[in-house]
Amino acid sequence: MKMLEGKVAAVTGAASGLGRAMALAFAGEGMHAALADVDEPGLKSTLNEVQSRGVRAFAMRVDVSRYQEVESFCSKAIAQFGATHVVCNNAGVSPLGAVWENTLADWQWILGVNLWGVIHGVRAFVPRLLAQGEGHVVNTASVAGLISPPGMGAYNVTKHAVVALSESLYHDLRLRGSPVGVSVLCPAYVPTGIADSERNRPRELLNPAKSSSKEETMLKKAVASGKLSADDVARAVVAAVKEERFYVLTHPRIKGAIRARMEDILDERAPRNPLAL
């Protein structure tokens, strides 16, 4: 989609971080915006900033783990603007720890947001994009969808699944001769609010034994020290949509770890720790 001005972007997880940055980047291209998040104060702030770019926008509280809420968001976007063109399935959370330490609540929460949120977005929006014969889907995964760092197994599971879902979506659309594009975003550490996602965990999925872990401390330090900003990543997403590019790898230095994983698979050897390479 080379021409974005006057079209419509729908963004989940738009209250902060990459979602907010993508909403502003697309607004800077002259796109109208439909914004979703569970963080209503942050969502309102993003809405005000988007509207200050001179485009139309609306914001809606949406829990992406619930299909009916995503479907309602999609329906409202179409009712407001007549269509959507770029769909960013971006909402994400990050409970950490060794895989045997994650509670059922941890798994339900992260799978509900990181994976089911993308599934729900695809199911709600893609049939409309197919019908209108135009559009582009951006699914936010992570470099953790291409490698498997220790201490974040549940997160890795969801992000690997998003990469696989996105690749399958791309193939399915091509087999049907559809012009609808797909990109999967796989950034490394970026200074965002992902390390503080516990603030938005539903009450019924709280982990009463949760305490600050070594992994969480390391994640917050790594996220804060990220060399690229959320705005840098958002600009890369806009470029990928215009170029109809599938993989969006924003941190070239991580490609060594990705290559090492592929080599370990092909050589049938135990995986090397990607954080030690």
Q: Which residue has the tokens 């798994």?
A: 107
Structure token pair of residue 144: 């953790």
How crowded is residue 223: how many other Cβ atoms within 10 Å of its Cβ?
Answer: 19
Catalytic residue among 155, 170, 189, 247: 155
Could you give the angle at the alpha carbon of 227 between the alpha carbons of 223 and 231, nearest 5°? 90
H or E element at residue 260? helix 255-266
Distances (CA, A) of 138 to 23, 99, 135, 237, 249: 12, 28, 10, 8, 13
Percentage helix, strand, coil for the chain under 3-state DSSP, each rounded to 5: 55, 10, 35
Distance CA 45, CA 173 (A): 35
Sign of CA dihedral 94, 96, 100, 102: negative
Amino acid, single-letter form, for residue 172: D
**Phi (first) and psi of residue 83, to 5 degrees:** -170, 165
155 is catalytic: yes
Q: Are 209 and 164 in contact (CB under 8 A)?
A: no
Cβ neighbors of 275 (< 8 A, separation 6 or more) are 149, 150
Annotated catalytic residues are 155
